[in-house]
Amino acid sequence: MNAIVISAIWGVVMMFSGIFSKNNAVIRGTALTGLALLIVVNILDMNGTVLFKVNVHGMLYFDGFGLLFNTIAFGSTFLYTLLSGRDMEKVGHNLSDYFALIFFILCGISIASSFNTLLMLFLGIEIMSIPLYILTGTDKRNLKSNEAALKYFLMGSFSTGLMLMGIALIYGAKGSFSMEEIRLGASTLTPMLSAGLLLLLFSMSFKVSAAPFHFWTPDVYDGAPTVFTSFMATIVKAAAFIAFLRLFDDSFGELQPQWQLIVAIVTAATLVIGNITAVFQQSVKRMLAYSSIAQAGFMMFALVALNEMARQGLIFYAAAYSVATIGVFAVLIKMKDYTFEGFNGLAKRQPVLAATNAIFLLSLAGIPATAGFMAKFYMLAAAVNNGHVMWLVIVGVLCAAISVYYYFRVIQAMYFKDGDAQEMEVSPVFKGLLVVMAAIVVLLGIFPQWLLDKLYYFL
């Protein structure tokens, strides 16, 4: 509860901070303070200190899983703001508003990670999405940005409609919005319920950009200002996955044999389409958009497997993927040319940028000794443990090998090709932060226990 209230309050604080101060550094400082505060109160919440005792009538349910994810999301946002906060100023003049929107998104994330009724799920997802539509279009004078925002908004509204329809059908069948009461036994799948379940599956697949509902992703990610792409491709996407998993685990888990095949097919399609189209991209930004679809495919494994390992794995995946992707985007923003050629010879000019970027890319590719390997390991282990989807595991593995192709293209450009990569000015602090992020990636890869212990500790 702490995080929901504080993030909402701080969102308002950020709105007003723009009135009282025109100094960007102050605004950024306020935002960072708010994020630090969020992390602290959320950790307090995990330890049992609830600051706001609100009777939610069982509509929200706080457990270690959701709270730990919140901590990861807030921590990642903190790192993201430190790294890319300055680049937000380049998007437009309304810095305080951008931060306000980000805080509202975080509020939505905290609801989506702890919903206990379908209504709360809906609210959480919408609170998360609407500010995103706005952030996508913040670069007002850029046609691509406008188009992306419109596209995202229209498609998002459509999926919202699907979700509402699904919720209504399930309500019609079970007479309740509550997760506990909906909890479906193995034998009660009526046509109305299955229609509702499918609609929910489709709308959530849209939110996490799983194939075949992924078509908006590359255009939106490409059109949105790069700093915000970084945010929506990582933290928001991971949050949608947490909600997805909670929904299908808590409410529909016992029916898994009946929907597992559909989810498995969606997963396979996501993996194959995401990875293969990423291979053909000429711009690193678009490549990352497709790769985020591919990574979503790997996160879908948690849904297919649906066991304890999957829950741990998804938490770990969220952390590993967010940190690495924020890092890659932070480097990307500093480049003047977003094509692969734009990275040619970066290692000579900016060894720190290139080396840390290489570590992030290795992590995304899932090479051992990086967090990405452990994340993929957990996902594969969960799916193998499930036992019914070995074919999907093999598909996943082959796709992971394909992903090496496009991630390593950037490494090749940076290290092995000659050229003069043009980058913006980078400050020593920025480099230092990149090194810290890279260190997190490596440490999580070698000692994943540090993060996962928390899950057990707070459960």
Partner 1 sequence: MIPVLLIVVPLLSGLAAFFIKQEKGVKTWALLSTVITLAVSLLGLTLLNKAANLHTEVEWLPLLGSKFSVGLDGMGQILCLLTAVAFPMIFIATWNSSYKNARSFYAFMLLSQAGLMGVFLAFDALLFYFFWELALIPAYFLCSQWGGEKRIAVTFKFFIYTFVGSLLMLVGIIYLYLHTPDQSFAIESFYKAVLTSKEQGWLFWLFFIAFAIKMPVFPFHTWQPDTYEQSPTATTMVLSGVMVKMGLFGVMRWLAPVLPMATWLNGDTVGLLCVIGMIYASLIAMQQDDLKRLIAYSSIAHVGLMCMAIFVTSDQALQGVMIQMFNHGINIIGMWIVVELIERQLHTRKISELGGLAQKAPGLAIMLVVVALANVALPLTNAFIGEFLLFSGVFNSTVSKMSYVFAAAGGITIILSAVYTLNMIQRVFFGNTNTLTAGIQDIKFNERFVLGVLVIVILVIGVYPRPFLELTQGTVDTILSRMVIKHPS
Task: Give the nearer residue to partner 1 in terms of CB position, either 9 or 446.
Answer: 446
ω into residue 191 within 30 of 0, thus cis? no
Task: Give the nearer residue to partner 1 in terms of CB position, either 83 or 374.
Answer: 374
Task: Give the nearer residue to partner 1 in terms of CB position, either 215 or 408.
Answer: 408
**CB-based contacts of 99, cutoff 8 Å, min separation 6:** 14, 17, 27, 28, 30, 31, 88
Secondary structure class of 5 (helix, strand, coil): helix
Task: Give the nearer residue to partner 1 in terms of CB position, either 52 or 456.
Answer: 456
Place of tokens 């678009």: 286
Least Å distance between CB 101 and partner 1?
A: 38
Task: Give the nearer residue to partner 1 in terms of CB position, either 78 or 377.
Answer: 377
- Ramachandran angles phi, psi of 83, nearest 5°: -75, -50
Helix (H) / strand (E) element for 6: namely helix 2-20
Distance CA 168, CA 162 (A): 10
Least Å distance between CB 388 and partner 1?
A: 13
Question: Alpha helices, DSSP H only, in 342-370?
Answer: 346-349, 351-365
Least Å distance between CB 97 and partner 1?
A: 43
Least Å distance between CB 377 and partner 1?
A: 7
Q: What is the contact surface with partner 1 in residues (CB under 8 A)?
A: 362, 367-369, 373, 377, 380-381, 384-385, 393-394, 397-398, 400-401, 404-405, 408, 412, 415-417, 447-449, 452-453, 456
DSSP state of 248: I
Least Å distance between CB 365 and partner 1?
A: 8
CA atoms within 13 A on the CB side of 370: 21
Task: Give the nearer residue to partner 1 in terms of CB position, either 397 or 424.
Answer: 397
Least Å distance between CB 343 and partner 1?
A: 14
Task: Give the nearer residue to partner 1 in terms of CB position, either 206 or 378.
Answer: 378
283 close to 338: Cβ distance less than 8 angstroms: yes
Least Å distance between CB 402 and partner 1?
A: 8
| CA separation, residue 347 to residues 352, 410, 414, 417, 419 (Å) | 8, 11, 5, 9, 10
Closest CA to 300 of 183, 216, 396, 372: 396
Distance CA 145, CA 164 (A): 28
Least Å distance between CB 385 and partner 1?
A: 5
Task: Give the nearer residue to partner 1 in terms of CB position, either 136 or 295.
Answer: 295
